[in-house]
């Protein structure tokens, strides 16, 4: 993904950040999904309010940031 090459410095300390995998004890191990509860998704368009994520961790201070890969899917309905 493009974010991996774009993001290199930590916003907290300026240290180098690397892309990391997330290991979670859940139904979808290794994947954290973001869901917008105020966005409707019809039966035929399931998942239109969900985005998977990508994580970056600073090798200096440990600060970790999650990014939505498809943030346009998280815009709430008006």
Tell me which residue range forms the domain holding 28.
2-74
Centre a 10 Å sphere on the Cβ of residue 25 and count the other Cβ atoms it contains.
Answer: 5
**What would the DSSP string read from start to end of the chain?**
-HHHHH--B-TTT--BEEEE----SSSSTT--EEE-TTS---GGGTTTTEEEEEEEEETTT--EEEEES-GGGGPPP-
| Structural domain count of the chain | 1
Chain segment 35-54, per-residue pLDDT in tens: 777 666 565 555 578 888 88
Chain segment 1-30, per-residue pLDDT in tens: 455 555 679 999 999 999 887 766 656 556
Torsions phi, psi for 6 (to 5 deg)? -80, -35
């Amino acid at each position: 993904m493009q974010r991996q090459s774009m993001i290199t410095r930590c916003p907290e300390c300026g240290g180098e950040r690397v892309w990391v995998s997330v290991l979670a004890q859940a139904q979808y191990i290794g994947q954290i999904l973001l869901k917008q509860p105020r966005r409707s998704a019809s039966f035929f368009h399931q998942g239109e309010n969900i985005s998977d994520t990508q994580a970056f961790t600073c090798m200096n201070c440990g600060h970790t940031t999650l990014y939505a890969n498809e943030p346009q899917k998280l815009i709430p309905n008006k």
